[in-house]
Amino acid sequence: MTRVHPNTAAPFADLPSLPACCGATREGGVAVLTVWRKSLLFSCHGFTVFDAEGNLVFRVDIYGSGSAGELVLMDAAGKPLLTARRKKLSLGETWLIYNGEDADNPLYSVKRHVSLLHCKGLAHVTPLRGGSGSAGYAVEGSYSRRSCTVYDERRRAVAEIQRKQAVGGVAFGDDVFRLVVQSDLNTCLAMAIVIVLDQMPELASLPLRMTLSITDLARVLLLSILGGEICEIEALGDMGSSDFSWKLADHPKLPKGKTVAVVVLDGWGEADPDQYNCIHVAQTPTMDSLKKGAPERWRLVRAHGKAVGLPTEDDMGNSEVGHNALGAGRIFAQGAKLVDLALASGKIFEGEGFKYIKECFDKGTLHLIGLLSDGGVHSRLDQLQLLLKGCSENGAKRIRVHILTDGRDVLDGSSVGFVETLENDLAKLREKGIDAQIASGGGRMYVTMDRYENDWGVVKRGWDAQVLGEAPHKFRSAVEAVKKLREDPKANDQYLPPFVIVDESGKAVGQIVDGDAVVTFNFRADRMVMIAKALEYADFDKFDRVRVPKIRYAGMLQYDGELKLPNRYLVSPPEIDRTSGEYLVHNGIRTFACSETVKFGHVTFFWNGNRSGYFNPSMEEYVEIPSDSGITFNVQPKMKALEIAEKARDAILSRKFHQVRVNLPNGDMVGHTGDIEATVVGCKAADEAVKIILDAIEQVGGIYVVTADHGNAEDMVKRNKTGQPLLDKAGKIQILTSHTLQPVPIAIGGPGLASGVRFRKDVPDGGLANVAATVMNLHGFEAPTDYEPTLVEVVDN
Ligand SMILES: O=C(O)[C@@H](CO)OP(=O)(O)O
Question: What tens digit of pLDDT does each residue of 682-740 get?
Answer: 999 999 999 999 999 999 999 999 999 999 999 999 999 899 999 988 899 999 999 99
Q: Active-site residues: which are they? A: 319
> Of the ranges 2-11, 435-444, 776-785, which one carries the lowest mean pLDDT score?
2-11
Instruction: Tell whether the model's pLDDT for residue 27 goes beyond 50.
Output: no
The Å distance, Cα 352 to ligand 1 centre, comes to: 30
Which tops the pLDDT comparison, 205 or 253? 253
Instruction: Give the CA count within 13 Å in the CB-facing half-sphere of 30.
Output: 11
In this structure, the residue with its CA closest to atom 1 of ligand 1 is: 669
pLDDT for the residue 14: 62
User: Which residue has better confidence, 277 or 45?
Assistant: 277
Q: Give me ligand 1 centre to Cα 739, in Å.
A: 8
Q: What is residue 173's predicted lDDT score, i.e. its pLDDT?
A: 65
Would the pLDDT of 358 be above 70?
Answer: yes
Q: Which of 53-57, 156-160, 532-536, 722-726 has the highest mean pLDDT?
A: 532-536
Task: For ligand 1, atom 10, name the residue with the nearest CA.
Answer: 319
Instruction: Out of 315, 374, 739, 744, give the residue to mutate to test ligand 1, the one with the largest number of ligand atoms within 8 Å of its CB.
Output: 739
Pocket of ligand 1 (CB under 6 A): 266-267, 318-320, 377-378, 408-409, 527, 668
Where is pLDDT greater, at 287 or 209? 287
Kindly report the protein residue whose alpha carbon is nearest to atom 11 of ligand 1. 319
- Say how far apart CA 126 and CA 111 lie, in whole Å: 8
Q: How far is the CA of 490 from the centre of ligand 1 (A)?
A: 22
Question: What mean pLDDT do residues 774-788 have?
Answer: 97
Average pLDDT over residues 74-87: 88
Question: Residue 696, SS3?
Answer: helix
The pLDDT > 90 percentage for the chain reads 71
Q: What pLDDT, in 10s, does the model give residues 624-664?
A: 999 998 899 999 999 999 999 999 999 999 999 999 999 99
Average pLDDT over residues 503-523: 98
Atom of ligand 1 nearest to the CA of 527: 3
| Stretch among 126-135, 293-302, 439-448, 701-710 having the lowest mean pLDDT | 126-135
Query: Could you tell me which of 449, 431, 428 has the C-alpha nearest to residue 373?
Result: 449
Tell me what pLDDT residue 115 has.
Answer: 55
Could you tell me the distance, in angstroms and rounded to a whole number, from the CA of residue 772 to the centre of ligand 1? 22
Distances (CA, A) of 134 to 75, 127, 129, 137, 699: 23, 6, 7, 10, 69
| Among protein residues, the one whose CA lies closest to atom 5 of ligand 1 | 409
Confidence of residue 170 (pLDDT cuts 50, 70, 90): very low
Which of 672, 712, 741, 744 gets mutated to test ligand 1 (max ligand atoms within 8 A of its CB)? Answer: 672
Please write the tens of the pLDDT for every residue from 552-602.
999 999 999 889 999 999 999 998 999 999 999 999 999 999 999 999 999
> What's residue 91's pLDDT?
59
Q: How far is ligand 1, taken at its centre, from the CA of residue 300, in Å? A: 21
Q: Return the ligand 1 atom nearest residue 267 CA.
A: 10
Give the residue-averaged pLDDT of 150-179. Answer: 74
pLDDT at position 466: 98
Closest CA to 672 of 495, 488, 486, 482: 495
Looking at ligand 1, which atom is closest to the CA of residue 409?
6
Assess contact for 194 and 179: CB atoms under 8 A: yes
Q: Where residue 212 falls among pLDDT bands split at 50, 70, 90?
A: very low
**Ligand 1 atom at shortest distance from the alpha carbon of 668:** 10
Across residues 440-463, what is the average pLDDT?
97
Q: Which range has the worst mean pLDDT, 97-101, 237-241, 283-287, 671-675? A: 237-241
CA of 644 to the centre of ligand 1 (A): 19
Q: Which atom of ligand 1 is nearest to the CA of 709?
A: 10
Q: Compute the distance from residue 610 Cα to the ligand 1 centre, in Å.
A: 15
Is residue 504 over pLDDT 70?
yes
- Is residue 523 a contact partner of residue 320, using CB atoms and an 8 Å limit? no
Report in angstroms the alpha-carbon separations of 332 from 3, 147, 522, 575.
21, 25, 18, 8
Closest residue by Cα to atom 3, ligand 1, is 527
Locate the ligand 1 atom nearest the alpha carbon of residue 598 and give its number: 11
In the predicted model, is pLDDT for residue 305 greater than 80? yes
Tell me how far the alpha carbon of residue 318 lies from the centroid of ligand 1, in angstroms.
6
pLDDT the model gives residue 769: 98
> φ and ψ at 743, to 5 degrees?
-75, 170
pLDDT at 9 over 50: no
Q: pLDDT band for 234, please (50, 70, 90 cuts).
A: very low
- Whether residue 7 is predicted with pLDDT greater than 80 in this model: the reply is no
For the segment 377-398, the average pLDDT, to the nearest whole number, is 98
Residue 218 pLDDT greater than 90, yes or no:
no
Q: What is the mean pLDDT of the chain?
A: 88
Residue 211 has pLDDT above 90, yes or no: no
**So what's the pLDDT on residue 44?**
72
Candidate from 136-150, 506-520, 525-539, 691-705 with smallest mean pLDDT: 136-150
Q: Give the pLDDT confidence score for residue 199 in this predicted structure.
A: 85
Residue 69 confidence class, pLDDT cut points 50, 70, 90: confident
User: Which range among 30-39, 283-292, 456-465, 729-738 shows the weakest confidence by mean pLDDT?
Assistant: 30-39
d(CA 471, CA 457): 13
**Res 243: pLDDT:** 61
Q: What is the pLDDT of residue 34?
A: 86
**What is the distance between the alpha carbons of residues 61 and 42, in angstroms, rounded to a whole number?**
10
Model confidence at 168: pLDDT above 70: no
Residues of the chain with pLDDT > 70, as a percent, come to 87
Q: What is the pLDDT of residue 244?
A: 83
**What is the predicted pLDDT for the residue at 304?**
97
- φ, ψ at 400 (rounded to 5°): -125, 130
Say if CB 59 and CB 47 are below 8 A apart. Answer: yes
Question: Rounded CA gap, 469 and 367, in Å?
Answer: 13
